[in-house]
């Protein structure tokens, strides 16, 4: 039985998820590694984490990546479209947080069609640009689980498209793609985890995006 725990701890961090399968992984890294590592240690030795899969390069999702990588020894995966973003304060929007862009080595690039094999769960990589150039979501078809990054949030909310690399048309197409999935539980990059009529919530996000973008 696969378990997912939200392990981010700092106030402005993105959500960081610890997925406990045969090969434990983190989805996103937040900004502050300290509280996250402490929360991970409640479940497993951080060194057991094999992969840190980033939904996109923004600072609130990746600022903690250098320290988490060091502490875990995990491989860091990022969209191939955002390979050039590491260390760049504009594409990572680090300047919005008054911080320097995080520097870390990307060990592998994510693209549509890739599958992350965690043991029981097989996470499909879906490229969902719009909030950023190379935003991705992760979908597990059997468990009907979606890690939605900053593409969609609960209650019909959507990711911003007004930062570098943002694109309203792309976001609408990406959300259209997400409405074709059957989702039982959504783990968003911000806000709360939800299992309540998630397909309907994503439909609401699509209507909202079409009306405002």
**Min separation Cβ 150 and Zn ion, Å:** 4
Q: Which is nearer to Zn ion, 127 or 150 (CB)?
A: 150
**Min separation Cβ 60 and Zn ion, Å:** 6
3 burial via Cβ count (<10 Å: 0-12, 13-18, 19+): exposed
Place of tokens 């909310």: 157
Q: Which is nearer to Zn ion, 58 or 81 (CB)?
A: 58
In whole angstroms, give the CA distance from residue 196 to residue 207: 18
Q: Is 150 in the site for Zn ion (CB under 5 A)?
A: yes
Q: Which helix (H) or strand (E) holds 124?
A: strand 122-127
Q: Is 58 in the site for Zn ion (CB under 5 A)?
A: yes
**Min separation Cβ 149 and Zn ion, Å:** 7
**Min separation Cβ 65 and Zn ion, Å:** 14
Q: Is 127 in the site for Zn ion (CB under 5 A)?
A: no
Q: Which is nearer to Zn ion, 57 or 206 (CB)?
A: 57
Place of tokens 């992350």: 116
Q: Which is nearer to Zn ion, 82 or 140 (CB)?
A: 82
Would you tell me which residues interact with Zn ion (CB under 5 A)? 58, 150
């Amino acid at each position: 039985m696969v378990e997912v725990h939200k392990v981010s701890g700092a106030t402005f961090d993105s959500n960081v998820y610890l997925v406990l399968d045969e090969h434990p992984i983190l989805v996103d890294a937040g900004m502050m590694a300290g509280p996250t590592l402490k929360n991970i240690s409640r479940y497993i030795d951080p060194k057991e984490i094999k992969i840190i899969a980033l939904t996109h390069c923004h600072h609130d999702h990746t600022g903690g990546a250098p320290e988490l990588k060091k502490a875990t020894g995990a491989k860091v995966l990022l969209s191939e479209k955002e390979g050039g973003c590491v260390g760049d304060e504009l594409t990572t929007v680090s300047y919005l947080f008054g911080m320097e862009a995080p520097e870390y080595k990307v060990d592998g690039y994510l693209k549509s069609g890739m599958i992350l094999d965690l043991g029981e769960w097989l996470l499909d990589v879906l490229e969902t640009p719009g909030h950023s150039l190379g935003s991705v979501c992760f979908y597990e078809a059997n468990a009907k689980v979606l890690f939605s990054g900053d593409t969609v949030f609960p209650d019909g909310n959507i990711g911003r498209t007004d930062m570098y690399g943002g694109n309203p048309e792309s976001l609408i197409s990406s959300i259209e793609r997400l409405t074709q999935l059957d989702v039982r539980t959504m783990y968003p990059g911000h806000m709360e985890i939800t299992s309540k009529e998630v397909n309907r919530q994503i439909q609401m996000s699509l209507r909202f995006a079409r009306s405002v973008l």
